[in-house]
Chains A and B, each alone.
Chain A
Amino acid sequence: MPKFIETHIIDLLTNRDEKGMALLFEYYGDALYGIAFKTTQDDDLAKDVLQESLIKIWNKIDTYDKEKSKLFTWIFRITRNTAIDKIRSVKTKSNKEIQIEVSNVYSIGVDAIKPEHMDVKQHLSSLDEKYQIVIEALFFKGMTQQEASDELDIPLGTIKSRLKIGLRELKKVFNPQAVL
């Protein structure tokens, strides 16, 4: 996403201009909803998470520090935490076992695939499944490293290294030319 739009959205939100909320939804709404759904695995819960997250972003924009992180990183954290709190509050996490299948990684409806992500999706398959599983567990399921280790029956040290390597490998997925 062009950096200009990110700065523009931040300015509008800081000035309490509702146009900022509209742009925030337009540019990040689908991604945030996807994160919410990936964590809750429930449309209604994901809808609640998205709405609550956007309102939190609106209310807390004054606490955002652009020197410390990108806007997406900040709103990703808010959405992820809201989703984790949501599933904990409805106690659905305990009823769901983590079944991270390879197919789930790509379980996005055809209508949701945006053209700009088509190539990425193709390359995503090149990311080793073992890294995807760990990233999924920690980033989207809200597990701690210990919980992921217990759930996936993988040693804690392995969890840590697979996370590190997996994120590094993502560079090859999204910036294949840089790697080369």
Chain B
Amino acid sequence: METNLKTFLNSDLLEKYLIGDISTEELYKVEYFIDEYPEVREQFSEMEENLESYAKTFSKPAPVEVKQNVIEYASKEKKPKVLNTRWYYGAVACIITLLFSVVSIYLWKQNEMLIMQNNEAANKFMTLQNDIVDTNSKLEDFKNQLTVLNKAETRKYVIKGNQRAKDLKTVAYINSNDKLSVMNIVSLPELPEGQVFQMWANIDGELVSLGVLEKKQQQEKLVTLPFKENALSYNITIEPEGGNEYATIENEVANIAVH
């Protein structure tokens, strides 16, 4: 180590470092020795003092216009450090606030979207539930219809329209044992707007509504009819659209007695 120090001090590296005429590699080497060895630092410090004193022996009065020029330059270029710092802090604060706002808005939108998706999912679930109930109901109907059709004790009643509804034809299948009844609407004549065919069951002289016969039901093979025990007859009348609470007897277009 001492040899390295001696070798370094005997070289011209310190002198070259003093005037700044040194390579990068040599610079790092010199700065290492200055940092590590107090005697090197002391020698360099002495060289600096001597350089300054020596250089000043050649001092020459500097031109006044140079002073004016450089001061003018400095006054234009000056940037107070405090303001710079404040501007910098202010800019950083603005950026952070902006980022925070952007992130907040993004998260809020995400939340809104999730709520919407959740609602959509809930609605879909409800729809599915309703579909399931509906399908189950249809399956039940279908099962009942099959039951009605397949049983020997099922009775078949063909209901035809009178003069007022010549083209009306339906076939009712009644199973009193299982208390099931279905109907096949074979054909339904067109009615003026605002009128519909409504089916009734005669229960002890009173006509009880079984529902409105709809055109679309004509496309279906079988329609479930509410079973009415002890029905004496099945009647069809023309009623106002949407059906009526009580049968308009004078508008009767078909009836059939039930055994």
Contact = CB atoms under 8 A, between A and B. Distances in A.
Interface string A23-67: 001000111111101100000001100110011001100000000
A138 B21 CA distance: 9
Contacts of B47: 167
Given A138-B19, A160-B12, A58 B70 contact: yes
B126 to A, nearest CB: 70
B71 interface: yes
A37 to B, nearest CB: 5
A72 B48 CA distance: 8
Contacts of A175: 49-50
B67 interface: yes
A144 B79 CA distance: 39
Contacts of A114: 56, 59
B19 A80 contact: yes
Contacts of A47: 63, 65-66
B48 A70 contact: yes
A14 B60 contact: no
Interface string A102-116: 000000110110100
B50 A170 contact: yes
Contacts of B69: 51
A34 B81 contact: no
A25 B61 contact: no
A17 B61 CA distance: 24
Given A22-B67, A47-B66, A77 B58 contact: no
Contact of A17 (B15, B56, B78): B78
B55 interface: yes
Contacts of A20: 74
A157 to B, nearest CB: 10
Classify chain B: how many residues form its interface, as a range: 35 or more
B81 A16 contact: yes
A96 interface: no
B51 interface: yes
A10 to B, nearest CB: 13
Nearest to B34: A68
Given A22-B71, A163-B15, A73 B51 contact: yes
Contact of A81 (B20, B60, B75): B20
A171 B31 CA distance: 22
A117 B78 contact: no
Interface in B22-78: 31, 34, 45-63, 65-67, 69-71, 73-75, 77-78
A115 B81 CA distance: 38
A124 interface: yes
B62 A32 contact: yes
A177 interface: no
B102 to A, nearest CB: 34
A180 B70 CA distance: 43
Contacts of B58: 31, 34-35, 37-38, 108, 140
B80 interface: yes
Given A108-B59, A163-B12, 12 more contacts: A20-B74, A25-B66, A30-B56, A31-B58, A33-B62, A55-B73, A77-B20, A139-B55, A144-B21, A164-B15, A167-B51, A175-B49
Closest 5 CB pairs of A and B: A77-B20, A29-B62, A34-B58, A21-B74, A170-B50
Interface of A: 1, 14-18, 20-22, 25, 29-35, 37-38, 46-47, 50-51, 54-55, 58-59, 68-70, 72-73, 76-77, 80-81, 108-109, 111-112, 114, 117, 120-121, 124, 135, 138-140, 144-145, 160, 163-164, 167, 170-171, 173-175
17 contacts: A14-B81, A16-B74, A16-B77, A16-B80, A17-B78, A20-B74, A21-B71, A30-B62, A31-B59, A37-B60, A46-B60, A58-B73, A69-B48, A70-B45, A70-B48, A73-B52, A135-B54
